[in-house]
């Protein structure tokens, strides 16, 4: 059984919770309170020296980076189809997610919804523009096909869904992105889907 070090507010963590649930694999969760510094304790840094959740522990193998974890878990399943071009397309969107999407859309959600920093300074404005740019690229792609890798739901969708469907919490308005909104509905309708606040049977400590 694998162990997931996770935080309940994190979309990066949610990606992995969703993946493990869809795969039907047994797992356990250790909740890490990042806002209280628990991702920078000596014991956690021994798991991930980069001090970030999620991190997956599978026997002696320890793997950080949410999208690398998705790829590792999904290999051999329908969520990571074979085919050189299909796999390249999936990775393309997962790197897009970590570079063009997450630093803007996820970070503004974190600042606004968790850190109570809703000031609209220069950096917020730049992230707002860059976030909408990323949504525009996604909208154009999804207007022509139902999922990021084409006809099939894959880990590229799981990766991008995590923060897109809660973009409103960071002040992003998806009204002008109908293809994205339809895709959000398609992802949420997948058999076995769980929501971002599902604790997967591992209650979050009440103090949080």
Hey, which bits of 27-126 come out as E strands? Answer: 27-31, 55-58, 61-64
Closer by beta carbon to a second copy, 61 or else 201 = 61
CB of 85 to a second copy, least distance (A): 5
CB neighbours of 35 closer than 8 A, spacing ≥ 6? 9, 114
- Applying CB under 8 A, among 38, 98, 186, 190 the residue interacting with a second copy is 98
Closer by beta carbon to a second copy, 10 or else 66 = 66
CB of 113 to a second copy, least distance (A): 20
Residue 141 parent element (H or E) = helix 122-142
Alpha-carbon gap, residue 126 to 119, rounded angstroms: 13
CB of 66 to a second copy, least distance (A): 8
- Applying CB under 8 A, among 21, 77, 100, 190 the residue interacting with a second copy is 100
- Kindly list the strands in the beta sheet with 2-6, ordered across the sheet, starting from the edge strand earlier in the chain: 27-31, 2-6, 55-58, 61-64
* Binders in 5-64 for a second copy, by CB under 8 A: 49-50, 61, 63-64
Say if residues 45 and 51 touch (Cβ distance below 8 Å).
yes
CB of 205 to a second copy, least distance (A): 28
Q: How many residues bind a second copy (CB under 8 A)?
A: 33
- Applying CB under 8 A, among 35, 99, 118, 173 the residue interacting with a second copy is 99
- Applying CB under 8 A, among 67, 135, 165, 172 the residue interacting with a second copy is 67
Q: Is residue 96 involved in binding a second copy (CB under 8 A)?
A: yes
Torsion of CA 106, 90, 138, 183, to 10 degrees: -90
Alpha-carbon gap, residue 96 to 135, rounded angstroms: 11
Label residue 116 left, alpha or beta by phi (over 0 means left) and psi (-120 to 50 means alpha). left
Alpha-carbon gap, residue 5 to 74, rounded angstroms: 18
Q: Is residue 157 involved in binding a second copy (CB under 8 A)?
A: no
**Residues near a second copy (CB under 8 A):** 49-50, 61, 63-69, 71-72, 75, 84-85, 87-89, 91-92, 94-96, 98-100, 102-103, 123, 134, 137, 140-141
């Amino acid at each position: 059984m694998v162990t997931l070090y996770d935080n309940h507010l994190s979309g990066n963590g949610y990606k992995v919770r969703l993946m493990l649930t869809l795969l039907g694999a047994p797992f356990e969760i250790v909740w890490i309170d990042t806002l209280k510094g628990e991702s920078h304790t000596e014991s956690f840094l021994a798991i991930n020296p980069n001090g970030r959740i999620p991190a997956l522990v599978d026997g002696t193998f320890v793997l950080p980076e949410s999208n690398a974890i998705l790829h590792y878990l999904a290999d051999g399943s329908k969520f990571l189809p074979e085919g050189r071009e299909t796999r390249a397309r999936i990775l393309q969107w997962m790197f897009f997610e970590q570079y063009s999407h997450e630093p803007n859309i996820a970070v503004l959600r974190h600042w606004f919804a968790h850190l109570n920093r809703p000031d609209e300074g220069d950096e917020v404005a730049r992230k707002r523009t860059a976030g909408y740019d990323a949504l525009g690229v996604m909208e154009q792609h999804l207007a022509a096909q139902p999922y990021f890798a084409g006809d099939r739901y894959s880990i590229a969708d799981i990766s991008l869904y995590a923060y897109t469907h809660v973009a409103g919490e960071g002040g992003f308005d998806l009204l002008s992105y109908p293809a994205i909104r339809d895709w959000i509905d398609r992802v949420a309708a997948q058999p076995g889907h769980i929501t971002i606040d599902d604790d997967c049977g591992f209650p979050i400590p009440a103090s949080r």
